[in-house]
């Protein structure tokens, strides 16, 4: 029953632990993205420090992903995924016991915390490479859509769970900071559960269908995609979920529970859009789906930044959520389709690394702009830069997309 729900026709069972693991990780990332700024503010840090710590998490993920792209082909994906899951477990427990800025900065840099709405971790290229081998054509796009759907849906549930510390504090008398700390302990246990799941992945064999290799024939295409994706990622880093939550706190004075409800509904709408992405891509193509759903979403973001009241701003942000992530499964399928099978792990890594590096820089800018009182500036800049990216991507690859 679970297999029929999660796996498209023509996809083997080896993908199932990856899909379930993605769901668990997304749940943890969903509440961490909302709780991270609240926890840091409760520890006495300012908005600039929140931006710096968000940058550290993304920068560390980028460097780890770069290492996977450069040397990961020497090791089987299963071993690397098990190591990443152990790192997730240690990250949660370590973040829960530290309160000083510099230890938290080190943990954020080395660990797996994700302050954004998407998956920018070291897990991404490893999982994408295995998923790409599990199906072809429309089946592959459908598999990536389910992978993204589970991520969006469970991230939404995680965002809703970000209100748990308020509830626990009200009913048990536990301090707010302690209740928040408990959620990072839960993050560590989820990392342990993911490790147990990945132990079910097939063991390495000498009969691997497509031995992984470093970039070769597809290097030019991958570098062009990486450059374009970095523009998109830099823009997205300006409004990662942690900073969007901070914007809601400061712009409209919403509570942690209300912010969690907003991110829950935004996540549900994102999940619906990603479920529809394969159907749309089958009719208008992968590239057109990536571009022409993204542009109106970014117009909504700019308008939300300038909205005079919370009702209009939230409505525009929810419309954005319905459209802005439809490019995620189609982008993954597009990258896997335009490179050779042996280069898929390297391509996934080298297109992810610039995204992670670019998105790692921008949260600090947003934190500084918030601290200066320019609350609308990061959202407007994000929307404008993403529209530029959409148009450049379509111009660069519109001819090649016709052959897919």
Domains of the chain: 12-401 (1.20.1250.20)
Could you give the CA distance from residue 280 to residue 180 in angstroms, rounded to a whole number? 40
Name the residue with tokens 């970000």. 162
Distance from C-alpha of 306 to C-alpha of 317, rounded to nearest angstrom: 12
| Three-state secondary structure call for residue 76 | coil
348 neighbors 128 (Cβ within 8 angstroms) = yes
Taking a C-beta distance cutoff of 8 angstroms, is the pair 107, 32 a contact?
no
CA distances, 119 to each of 66, 93, 153, 241 (Å): 15, 20, 13, 12
pLDDT of residue 153: 85
> How far is the C-alpha of 102 from the C-alpha of 48, rounded, in Å?
14
Q: pLDDT at residue 264 above 80? A: yes
Enter the pTM of the model: 0.69
Contact 340, 219 (CB under 8 A): no
Residue located via tokens 């998923």: 131
Average pLDDT across the chain, whole number: 83
CA 389 to chain centre: 18
Report which listed range, 63-67, 86-90, 153-157, 287-291, is most confident.
Answer: 86-90
C-alpha–C-alpha distance, residues 318 and 23, integer Å? 22
pLDDT digits (tens, 9 = 90+) for 277-306: 888 888 888 889 999 999 999 999 999 999
Question: To 10 degrees, the CA torsion angle through 33, 34, 40, 44?
Answer: 160
Q: Distance between CA atoms of 138 and 234, rounded to whole angstroms?
A: 30
């Amino acid at each position: 029953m679970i297999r029929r729900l999660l796996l498209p026709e023509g996809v083997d069972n080896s993908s199932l632990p990856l899909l379930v693991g993605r769901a668990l990780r997304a749940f943890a990332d969903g509440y961490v993205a909302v709780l991270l700024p609240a926890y840091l503010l409760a520890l006495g840090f300012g908005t600039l420090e929140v931006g710096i710590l968000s940058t550290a998490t993304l920068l560390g993920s980028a460097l780890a992903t770069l290492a996977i792209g450069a040397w990961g082909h020497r090791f089987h994906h299963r071993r690397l995924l098990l190591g990443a899951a152990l790192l997730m477990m240690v990250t949660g427990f370590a973040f829960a016991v530290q309160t000083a800025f510099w230890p938290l900065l080190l943990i954020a840099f080395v660990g797996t915390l994700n302050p954004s709405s998407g998956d920018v971790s070291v897990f991404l290229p490893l999982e994408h490479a295995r998923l790409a081998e599990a199906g072809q054509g429309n089946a592959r796009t459908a598999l990536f859509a389910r992978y993204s759907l589970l991520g969006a849906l469970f991230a939404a549930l995680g965002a809703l769970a970000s209100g748990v510390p308020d509830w626990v504090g009200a009913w048990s008398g536990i301090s707010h900071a302690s209740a928040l700390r408990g959620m990072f302990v839960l993050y560590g246990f989820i990392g342990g559960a993911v490790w147990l799941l990945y132990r079910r992945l097939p063991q390495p064999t000498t009969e691997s269908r497509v031995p992984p290799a470093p970039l070769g024939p597809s290097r030019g295409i991958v570098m062009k995609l990486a450059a374009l994706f970095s523009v998109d990622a830099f823009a997205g880093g300006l409004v990662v979920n942690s900073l969007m939550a901070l914007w809601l706190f400061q712009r409209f004075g919403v509570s942690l529970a209300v912010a969690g409800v907003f991110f829950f509904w935004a996540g549900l709408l994102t999940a619906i859009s990603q479920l529809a992405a394969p159907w749309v891509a089958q009719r208008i193509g992968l590239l057109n789906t990536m571009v022409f759903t993204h542009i109106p979403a970014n117009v909504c973001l700019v308008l939300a930044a300038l909205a005079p009241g919370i009702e209009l701003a939230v409505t525009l942000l929810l419309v954005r959520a319905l459209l802005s992530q439809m490019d995620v499964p189609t982008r993954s399928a597009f990258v896997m389709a335009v490179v050779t099978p042996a280069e898929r792990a390297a391509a996934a890594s080298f297109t992810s690394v610039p995204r992670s590096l670019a998105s790692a820089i921008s949260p600090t800018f947003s934190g500084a702009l918030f601290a200066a009182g320019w609350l609308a500036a990061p959202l407007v800049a994000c929307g404008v830069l993403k529209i530029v990216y959409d148009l450049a991507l379509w111009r660069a690859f519109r001819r090649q997309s016709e052959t897919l």
